[in-house]
Amino acid sequence: MRTMEPTEEILLVAYRTMRTIRSFEEKLVELVTRGKLGGFLHTYIGEEAVAAGVCANLSDDDHVASTHRGHGHCIAKGVDVRGMMAELFGAGSGICKGRGGSMHIADLGRGMLGANGIVGAGIPLATGAALTAKLKKTGGVGVAFFGDGASNQGAFHESLNMAANWKLPAVYVCENNGWGEFTPTEFVVPVADIAERARSYAMHSLIADGMDFFDVYAKSGAAIARARRGEGPTLLECKTYRFAGHYVGDTLVYRNKLEADHWINHRDPLQIFTSRVVGDRLLAVEDLQRIDREVADRIEEAVSAAEAAPLPDPGDLLEDVYVQR
């Protein structure tokens, strides 16, 4: 596999993306704790390098489908954080006019087909986008993000079978964080690596260190380039970990604290990225600190705007609703 070295510009965007995901979600947790925000939230903290690494290889013409843990994918695909924050507050200025909330954020202009409350349901959507790209010869790719738990769903197997058979320009990114809700992956998955499942469909597969932006960027870049060349889909398994519970409020009684401490203290994707870029003199510490400040300001501003934004007009309730008579 050809190793792709990210440029300085890509590294700056990657750091901004990962820092934005982290700060956006830390702010959400704070807002929930202070009783300012309601609804069900699943955080992506710990998994930032996967979304940032994959999306660094994509443009607005490529489509991604996301999950219930979707804030990171949206941010990495370029969805506006102000619109996302307003959406979480249910405001009319939200990216989906306040009708979607955390688990249904979509922005077709950015190629974000949507977060998804149904486990595995984004996989056929990305497959459909890949089929469209192939038929219309757009040169685009369809990328599905999903968890290890979703790889047990029928939609996963049906999609991979079809994509492999039709050589679709698709990339299936499994974020294996070791857990599906409160169940360890090995309890419900008989294969050692989810990537092995590709063999059933004669599909190419790769495994990446999901905590390392550089590894995800190189391996997803190779898979995406392969798809664009018309050589068919790839199942890319990224080994990762969610630092917090399954949802905000999860007390984590089922998880071994030593396991979590190991990942949080030694495998933090932001720390791994920072040590590499500073150690190898690829970026300056001052650049990273400037980005930290800019991101913090942007998020504070997004919260203030969302808090001040009016709720949707009840008179618009039936707009954007489709009914088959």
Ligand X SMILES: Cc1ncc(C[n+]2csc(CCOP(=O)(O)OP(=O)(O)O)c2C)c(N)n1
Nearer to ligand X, 146 or 217 (CB): 146
- Phi first, then psi, for residue 115 (nearest 5°) are -70, 170
Minimum Å gap between C-beta 206 and ligand X is 19
Q: How many CB atoms lie within 10 A of CB 117?
A: 16
- How many H helices and E strands in the chain? 11, 7
Binding site for ligand X (CB under 6 A): 68-69, 117-119, 146-150, 177, 179-181, 246
Minimum Å gap between C-beta 68 and ligand X is 5
Minimum Å gap between C-beta 66 and ligand X is 10
Nearer to ligand X, 180 or 221 (CB): 180
Minimum Å gap between C-beta 210 and ligand X is 12
Nearer to ligand X, 1 or 118 (CB): 118
Minimum Å gap between C-beta 173 and ligand X is 12
Minimum Å gap between C-beta 29 and ligand X is 16
Nearer to ligand X, 148 or 212 (CB): 148
Give the Cα separation of 210 and 265 in Å (integer).
15
CA atoms 58, 59, 61, 66: torsion sign: positive
CA atoms 18, 21, 22, 24: torsion sign: positive
Nearer to ligand X, 6 or 147 (CB): 147
Element (H, E) at 145: strand 142-147
Could you tell me which residues are beta bridge partners of residue 64?
112, 143
Measured from each CB, the residue nearest to ligand X is: 147
Q: 102 to each of 68, 70, 74, 83, 279, how far by Cα in Å?
A: 8, 8, 10, 12, 37
Length of the chain: 325
Nearer to ligand X, 110 or 242 (CB): 242
